[in-house]
């Protein structure tokens, strides 16, 4: 007999990705009854992700497991438009994940703390009581529509977040704050499995970067993000990606193709009465790297803990639950604002500038070369950055995580 | 008045990027398909510009 869905849960999480799973886990761990609704047939699909994370970023949340680790990353190489490149090895290790398995592990963890998940369950709207107050969620499951009551709804429903829209939270992204991306997973290539590669330049990936993240010695995620203001008809991310692969990996065979958008500016409103947004839905993404997994997990923990507090206080108002926004800002706000200011200059950077930065960085002793050293060089090359970074540095506690 | 926007389903990956840049909430994901409400649409073409596969077309 399949576990029945109860008529009421304290918390309903819409979306079973890392943001939803971590929120569910921390809410459940503290005694809340939690239901995760996942619209797909399983969590973790389709993978819309380059799958790179830092070890220090995810280690507070899950024990490493070789089942979801494809490669251990030791360094990064940065490639300027003139073909020059520099390798960096002092920024901590990373993993290239197998997201499909990783996402399932996070959900398993949430369920081990008491959460329940239902797949193929597509949320279609809120349920409201006679006073117009949000009192539950309506979802479609195997062709039928069901309602389930709750106190708190978590929108962990990704970049297109319907929950944010239903709650009246303004989540619209400006074109300059969006990267439009296409990624292939390719095989029949030869790559260093310990090195993530990044390619820059107006002709390579205008207003963004192109990545080669190894999944093994002979396969990689090769993808590109270009800024939303840089596309032209028939000259979008797919055009640049195909050009790169033809020139660099002509024998590559494509085993997976995916598109998607990455927000590069964090939201400021994540909360409404009875509702909190988390992860991509709240635009919680590193503005420079576009990485969202660690951000989603950090926010998910705070969000889950806020659920507990709201349930204890029996107060689900925007005012009470905005503690989540305040705590998020304390932990990540300064970091996000700093990264965003750098990103704003980065998307406008000329090829000449990229060339001279990589050229200058090459002269740094390999032992001393890390992102801090890189930013120091970038500062000299890009005076506009100085003012922006100086203001951000005052906020301190800057972390260079990816 | 310009033409209406239509999604070319052969190209669409249902990634939702178009939804995120729509100022008037004219685009929704419904049952694994992108739906554009051309009554609400203000033809800013943001969705057309950001679609990774250029799947949104203006029908004149």
> Which value does ipTM take for this structure?
0.96
Query: CATH 3.50.50.60 region(s) of chain A?
Result: 8-48+100-172+265-334
Under DSSP, is residue A22 helix (H, G, I), strand (E, B) or coil? helix
Domains of chain B, earliest start first: 4-59 (3.30.70.20)
Contact A218, A97 (CB under 8 A): no
* Chain A residues lying within 8 Å of B49, measured CB to CB: 175, 228-229, 231
* Chain A residues lying within 8 Å of B54, measured CB to CB: 233-234, 236, 238
Contact B17, A261 (CB under 8 A): yes
Given the DSSP bridges, would you call strands A75-79 and A195-199 parallel, antiparallel or unpaired? parallel
Provide the whole-model pTM.
0.94
CA-based nearest distance A43→chain B, Å: 15
Cα–Cα distance, A5 to A34 (Å, whole number): 11
Query: CB distance A263–B20 less than 8 Å?
Result: yes
Residue A176 has what DSSP assignment? G
* Chain B residues lying within 8 Å of A173, measured CB to CB: 20-21
User: Which run of H or of E encompasses A12?
Assistant: strand A8-14
Cα–Cα distance, A368 to A301 (Å, whole number): 34
Closest residue of chain B to A169, computed from CA coordinates = B25
pLDDT higher than 80, residue B60:
no
CA-based nearest distance A48→chain B, Å: 8
Residue B21 has what DSSP assignment? T
Query: CB distance A175–B49 less than 8 Å?
Result: yes
| Residue A328: Cβ within 10 Å count | 24
Query: CB distance B52–A171 less than 8 Å?
Result: no
CA atoms within 13 A on the CB side of A222: 26
* Chain B residues lying within 8 Å of A182, measured CB to CB: 52-53
Cα–Cα distance, A43 to A27 (Å, whole number): 19
Contact A36, A181 (CB under 8 A): no
Query: CB distance B15–A174 less than 8 Å?
Result: no
* Chain A residues lying within 8 Å of B50, measured CB to CB: 175, 178, 180, 228, 231, 261
3-state helix, strand, coil split of chain A in percent (to 5) is 35, 30, 35
Q: pLDDT truncated to tens, each residue of chain A (402 aa)?
A: 567 899 999 999 999 999 999 999 999 999 999 999 999 999 999 999 999 999 999 999 999 999 999 999 999 999 999 999 999 887 889 999 999 999 999 999 999 999 999 999 999 999 999 999 999 999 999 999 999 999 999 999 999 999 999 999 999 999 999 999 999 999 999 999 999 999 999 999 999 999 999 999 999 999 999 999 999 999 999 999 999 999 999 999 999 999 999 999 998 899 999 999 999 999 999 999 999 999 999 999 999 999 999 999 999 999 999 999 999 999 999 889 988 988 988 899 899 989 988 888 888 888 888 877 887 787 777 765 655 555 544 443 444 444
Predicted pLDDT at A384:
59
**Pick from A165, A236, A259: CB nearest B15:** A259
Cα–Cα distance, B44 to B46 (Å, whole number): 6
* Chain B residues lying within 8 Å of A260, measured CB to CB: 13, 15-17, 52
Query: CB distance A175–B46 less than 8 Å?
Result: yes
Query: CB distance A178–B17 less than 8 Å?
Result: yes
**Pick from A122, A174, A260: CB nearest B15:** A260
| Distance between start and end Cα atoms, chain A | 43
One CATH from 3.10.20.30, 3.40.1710.10, 3.40.50.300, 3.50.50.60 for A8-48+100-172+265-334 = 3.50.50.60
CA-based nearest distance A6→chain B, Å: 24
Q: Own/partner pairs for A324-330, CB < 8 Å, 24+ apart?
A: A324/A270, A324/A271, A324/A276, A325/A268, A325/A269, A325/A270, A325/A271, A327/A302, A328/A270, A328/A284, A328/A298, A328/A299, A328/A302
Q: How far from the centroid of its chain's Cα atoms is residue A188's Cα? A: 28
Q: At what angle do helices A18-29 and A99-112 cross, to 10 degrees?
A: 20
Name residue, tokens 């590559």.
Answer: A252
Q: Which residues contact A35 (CB under 8 A, 6 or more apart)?
A: A5, A6, A9, A11, A12, A13, A115, A116, A117, A118, A148, A150
For the domain made up of A70-97+174-263, the CATH class stated in words is alpha beta
Predicted pLDDT at A47:
95
* Average pLDDT over every residue of B24-44: 95
Cα–Cα distance, A99 to A109 (Å, whole number): 15
3-state helix, strand, coil split of chain B in percent (to 5) is 15, 25, 60
The DSSP code sequence of A337-388 is HHHHHHHHHHTT--HHHHHHHHHHHHTS-GGG-SHHHHHHHHHHH-HHHHHH
Query: CB distance B31–A122 less than 8 Å?
Result: yes
User: How many residues make up chain A in this entry?
Assistant: 402
Beta strand segments in A109-166, E: 116-118, 121-128, 134-141, 144-155
Task: Note whether B51 contacts A: Cβ–Cβ < 8 A.
Answer: yes
Task: Note whether B41 contacts A: Cβ–Cβ < 8 A.
Answer: no
Residue A22 bridge partners (DSSP): none
Cα–Cα distance, A393 to A38 (Å, whole number): 40
Closest residue of chain A to B16, computed from CA coordinates = A160
Query: CB distance A260–B23 less than 8 Å?
Result: no
Query: CATH 3.30.9.10 region(s) of chain A?
Result: 70-97+174-263
If we measure between CA atoms, which residue out of A227, A165, A220 comes closest to residue A190?
Answer: A220
| Distance between start and end Cα atoms, chain B | 10
Query: CB distance A172–B31 less than 8 Å?
Result: no
């Amino acid at each position: 007999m399949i576990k029945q869905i109860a008529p009421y849960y304290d918390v309903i999480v819409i979306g079973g990705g890392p943001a939803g799973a971590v929120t569910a886990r921390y809410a459940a761990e503290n005694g809340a009854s939690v239901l995760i609704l996942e619209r797909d047939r399983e969590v973790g699909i389709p993978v819309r992700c380059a799958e790179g994370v830092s070890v220090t970023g995810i280690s507070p949340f899950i024990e490493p497991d070789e089942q979801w680790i494809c490669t251990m990353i030791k360094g990064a190489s940065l490639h300027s438009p003139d073909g020059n490149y520099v390798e960096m090895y002092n920024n901590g290790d990373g993993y290239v994940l197998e997201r499909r398995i990783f996402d399932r592990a996070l959900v398993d963890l949430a369920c081990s703390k008491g959460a329940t998940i239902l797949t193929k369950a597509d949320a279609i709207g809120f349920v409201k009581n006679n006073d117009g107050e949000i009192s539950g969620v309506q979802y479609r499951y195997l062709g039928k529509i069901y309602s389930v009551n709750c106190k708190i709804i978590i929108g962990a429903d990704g970049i297109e977040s319907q929950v944010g829209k239903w709650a009246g939270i303004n989540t619209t992204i400006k074109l300059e704050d969006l990267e439009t991306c296409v990624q292939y997973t390719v095989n029949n290539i030869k790559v260093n499995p310990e090195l993530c590669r990044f390619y820059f330049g107006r002709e390579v990936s205008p207003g963004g970067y192109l990545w080669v993240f190894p999944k093994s010695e002979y396969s990689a995620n090769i993808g590109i993000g270009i800024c939303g203001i840089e596309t032209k008809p028939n000259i979008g991310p797919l055009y640049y990606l195909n050009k790169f692969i033809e020139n660099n990996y002509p024998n590559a065979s494509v085993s997976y193709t995916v598109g998607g958008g990455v927000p590069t500016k964090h939201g400021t409103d994540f909360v409404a009465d009875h509702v909190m947004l988390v992860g991509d839905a709240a635009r919680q993404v590193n503005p420079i790297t576009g990485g969202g997994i660690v951000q989603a997990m950090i926010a998910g923990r705070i969000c889950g803990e806020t659920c507990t507090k709201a349930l204890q206080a029996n107060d689900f108002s925007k005012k009470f639950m905005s503690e989540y926004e305040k705590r998020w800002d304390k932990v990540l706000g300064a970091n996000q604002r700093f990264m965003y200011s750098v990103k704003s200059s980065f998307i406008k950077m000329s090829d000449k500038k990229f060339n001279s930065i990589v050229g200058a960085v090459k002269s740094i002793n390999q032992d001393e070369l890390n992102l801090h050293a890189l930013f120091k060089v970038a500062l000299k090359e890009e005076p506009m950055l100085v003012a922006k970074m100086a203001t951000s540095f005052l906020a301190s506690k800057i972390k260079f995580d990816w | 008045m310009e033409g209406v926007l239509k999604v070319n389903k052969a190209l669409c990956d249902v990634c939702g990027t178009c939804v995120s840049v729509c100022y008037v909430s004219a685009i929704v994901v419904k049952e694994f398909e992108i739906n554009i409400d051309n009554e609400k649409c203000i033809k800013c073409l943001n969705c057309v510009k950001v679609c990774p596969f250029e799947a949104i077309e203006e029908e004149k």
